Chains A and B, each alone.
Chain A
Amino acid sequence: MVSINYAFREICCKIVYYGPGLSGKTTNLIYIHKKAPPQTKGELISLATDADRTLYFDFLPIDIGPVQGFSTKFQLYTVPGQVYYNATRKLVLRGVDGLVFVVDSQAAKLEENIESMNNLIENLEEYGYVLEELPMIIQYNKRDLEEVSSLEELEKCLNPRGLPYFEAVAVKGTGVFDTLKAISKLVLEKARGKSEPEGKKELISVSAESKSSVMPSAEREELEKKPYAPARESVPEAPLGKDSFEEVERDLEQPEKTYRVEEKLEKAREREREKEEQAKETVRLQKEKEEELIKVRLKEQEEKARKEKEGAERKKLFLERLEREMAGVERQKKALELEKIKEAEELRKKEQAALIEKMKKMEEEKKTLIQSQSEIEKETVEAERVSKEAVPEGPVQTVKADETGLPFQSKIIISPMLRQKKTKPAKGGFLWRWIQKIAGPNLDPKNRR
């Protein structure tokens, strides 16, 4: 879309350099930026990866100055050529006025060139642009390299429509300006066709339509009343904001310009009126803004008050709850303590009972022990008595042993004692030693047969 700005007397065209990755699109722009006269070029902006591959686009504005009173500008863009950047590549195409397809002439790259061309057609179709209607130039780049396809082959594969083409060595600048000039011309020819005034029929239907528009009718009428300015082209308008009355005064001094004075005066008055309106508008806006601010402040205050109130309430509630909780905790603590005391007491009682029990048991044990001791003593006495009676005179009588190897008498003495005690007397104890003394080594079960 060629942009024509009548206010700034400006025509702006968008030219896109398309083609496969590394074909030399960015190199074209770099050369143009380096070699174009300073007053014609703006800054070259590259949205590229660290490896200098185009990521989104390169952008170079060119201003060739006034042509027929219109400052004529070109905006040169390159697309990222790498296949997987199609999303951004497509975005750059939007609103394109002219295309330069930069071909990498190397024989090995032929396939990539064809793929890129198909991708271009696809993307244009998706925007609803018609390829045939779009000015386009083909640039066969990298002609300096050795393994390049022949021109005939490239033409056959890439240029079936016979578009104008240039051979180029972009790194050296060969063919770069020729390409740019050719596409610029094509685009401007196309722009002329586009901006030609439309027929009367169209105008009528438009004014009928505009009645239903949002524009206030008074303002519209005023616009419609506005005198038709036939001499606008030769007398440039005063720039915005300049004092128009001053200018009119100057014009009055030149008689041949008087016929324009009326018109200018009218215009100046109108501007004055507009200025007033603007001032009013500003005042109104200021008021609105103030009101808005007041509203905002009030709201803020309300909010603050509400928050404070809420805060106070919350605090109160919190305190109450805290108190309640504290009381609860206190109660619980007391209950717990009581329980503890009780438990401790019970434990103590139990311990006491156990102790008493133990003492009782010990007492009993003591008793049985004493009893058995007295019995033993009795029996010992008895035994002594028997042995004294049995061996009063003559040689020592041999006591006959039974199969166990124990002498009968020992058996008689020991067995009731053992039965009563239930447990064997502890080895090494007094009782044991005493038994051994009487019964001899046969008592030990190890020595039994």
Chain B
Amino acid sequence: MDTKNSRSEFGSKEQEVKLQDDSLIIHEEEIEKIDRALIKLIKGAEAKCALLVDKDGYLITRQGFTHSLDTTALAALLAGSFASTREIARLVGEPEFSVLFHQGKRDHIHISLVGERSILVAIFDDRTTIGMVRLYAKECGEELATILGQAHKSKKKSEPAIDSGFAASAEDRLNDIFRD
């Protein structure tokens, strides 16, 4: 585990306060930008795949070789793992472990904090090195923090909102699906 403490490296505290009572809303342009950043990371570091996960366990987007992965479960578990690591940091008096590294026999996982509420995950094998992944993940993380920071500031009016009929439409579907 990397204990390098870099809370202010990717995002500011002020941002978190602002976002806390807000839903996570992601727009297409942002996803495109995020995907580009992830591709850059994958190519640069020669990683197998990269995921951006919300701290609450939602998968925001993914790139690379992810077909064989249950990314939904992966996202939830990674977020849980990061949350518990964060709590461990707090208990030992460390502001945050901003980087987590799991070493496997073949595949390794590099997890780093992006901004205050997202987690960048890179899965790689021995074709590359942890050093390269660390280098590119840091760069990618900075880029993503900027993109996400922008995203939450500029809510586009043009997006179709979820209207009042949404819950009603969902209800029918729910009744349809969940029958004993």
Contacts and interface: CB of A to CB of B under 8 A. Distances in A.
B76 interface: yes
A45 B30 contact: no
B44 A197 contact: no
Nearest to A281: B40
B115 interface: no
A324 B162 CA distance: 89
Contacts of B153: 206, 209-210, 213
A70 interface: yes
B57 interface: yes
Contacts of B92: none
Interface string B67-101: 00010110011001001100100000000000000
A207 interface: yes
B14 to A, nearest CB: 12
Interface string A222-255: 0100001110110001001000000000000000
A184 B170 contact: yes
Contacts of B179: 177
Interface in A142-198: 173, 177, 180-181, 184-185, 188-189, 191-192, 194-198
A88 B84 contact: yes
B173 A195 contact: no
B27 A61 contact: no
B113 to A, nearest CB: 15
B8 interface: no
A285 interface: yes
A94 interface: yes
Contacts of B72: 42, 61, 75
A152 B180 CA distance: 27
A185 B174 contact: yes
A84 interface: no
Q: Main SS of the interface on chain B?
A: helix
Interface in A46-91: 47, 56-57, 59, 61, 64-65, 67-70, 72, 75, 77, 87-88, 91
Nearest to B171: A185
B160 A43 contact: no
Contacts, number: 191
What range describes how many residues of B lie at the interface?
A: 35 or more
Contacts of A285: 40, 43-44
Interface stretch (A1-9, A356-364, A410-418, A441-449): A1-9
Contacts of A75: 57-58, 72, 76
Interface stretch (A32-40, A117-125, A372-380, A391-399): A32-40
Given A45-B76, A191-B162, A289-B44, A4 B173 contact: no
B26 interface: yes
Interface of B: 20-32, 35-36, 39-40, 43-44, 54-58, 60-61, 70, 72-73, 76-77, 80, 83-84, 87, 135, 146, 149-150, 153-155, 157-167, 169-171, 173-175, 177-180
Interface of A: 1-8, 11-12, 14, 32, 35-37, 40, 42-43, 45, 47, 56-57, 59, 61, 64-65, 67-70, 72, 75, 77, 87-88, 91-92, 94-95, 128, 173, 177, 180-181, 184-185, 188-189, 191-192, 194-198, 200, 202-203, 206-207, 209-210, 213-215, 223, 228-230, 232-233, 237, 240, 274, 278, 281-282, 285, 289, 292
